[in-house]
Amino acid sequence: MTCDQGAAAASLPGFVRPEVDHDSAPFWASLRDRRLVVQRCTGCRTLRWPFRSVCAVCRVRECTEETMSGDGTLYSWTVIHHATVPTPPALLPYCVALVALAEDPRILIPAQYDGPRGELCSGLPVTAAYHDVTDDLTVLHWRRRGGRGERGLGERAAGERAAGEPAAGAP
């Protein structure tokens, strides 16, 4: 499913809404505002995701929410062909990407990847995309980050050669 396909997802039989609880409510609210937020512990200043009520490092309960850039790099991915949770068949297959945030690569956030599976490689620069499923639910997706100088591992700019590769027209 891509963002373009997803508008009708909530109306498909079998669509499962994410569980929003007391701890995760600020995360889901930020997505509605087109922002990606994580928690920062007020005790040890550690960034943390997923949202939780207690810091795993220092056990302090107080935290703040910080808006991230939405940029990261692809750490890993999997293509779901046979879902283990109720999923409308029209949405299969889909790709779930695990992304290391630019602000702290120890924070890995999974979300659906919007783009051709053939472009996936570890280190691919990605950015957050926000998908409105219903009037009150927005979910996070990842998409390839474009722009000059932003290439994934293994990609070369036009005219750039790999080490040891002869120039075009060379014998």
pLDDT of 3 reads 41
* Rounded CA separation 147/121 (Å): 17
pTM of the model: 0.77
What's the pLDDT score for residue 14? 62
Average pLDDT over residues 119-123: 96
Let me know: does 120 contact 96? Beta carbons within 8 Å: no
Listed in order, the ranges of the chain carrying CATH 2.40.50 are: 69-146
CATH assignment of 69-146, among 1.10.10, 2.40.50, 1.10.3470, 1.10.8: 2.40.50
